[in-house]
């Protein structure tokens, strides 16, 4: 069974930093676009960041642009989300996602959520 496994979540104070990691199991996604979404309590899952297969192109939600960085190490089959200057409104469960067939970050941004491969999520809590 193909699965994405996130790690690195936790509790951090406002202004702090965290780095999330996502490593697939069951198959490699080193030739596929990947990304991050988040879901706060009572809200819909929202896009955060996406990265193309090579790591040379990224795309971010306006709310995180300039604070978050999405990167990947295909040799380690791992995608990262480095989050700086965290705010209480960044509190959410963060999910890693992969496009099963696409290579461009648009394949994360424009694909219906049900057509992506998902992880189980990791909680990020930013205290004020």
Tens of each residue's pLDDT in the chain, 128 residues: 778 999 999 999 999 999 999 999 888 899 999 999 999 999 999 999 999 999 999 999 999 999 999 999 999 999 999 999 999 999 999 999 999 999 999 999 999 999 999 999 999 999 99
How remote is the C-alpha of 109 from its chain's centroid? 12
Tell me which residue of 8, 11, 36, 35 sits closest to 20, measured CA to CA.
8
Tell me which residue of 54, 71, 52 sits closest to 109, measured CA to CA.
52
Residues making up the chain, counted from first to last: 128
pLDDT at residue number 31? 92
């Amino acid at each position: 069974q193909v699965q994405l496994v996130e790690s690195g979540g936790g509790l951090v104070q406002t202004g702090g930093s965290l780095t999330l990691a996502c490593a697939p199991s069951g198959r490699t996604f080193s030739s596929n676009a990947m990304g991050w979404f988040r879901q706060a309590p009572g809200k819909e899952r929202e896009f955060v960041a996406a990265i193309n297969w090579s790591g040379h192109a990224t795309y971010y939600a306006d709310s995180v642009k300039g604070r978050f960085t999405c990167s990947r190490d295909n040799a380690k089959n791992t995608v990262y989300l480095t989050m700086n200057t965290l705010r209480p409104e960044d509190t959410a469960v963060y999910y890693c996602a992969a496009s099963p067939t696409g290579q461009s970050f648009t394949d994360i941004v424009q694909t219906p959520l049900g057509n992506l491969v998902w992880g189980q999520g990791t909680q990020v809590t930013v205290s004020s």
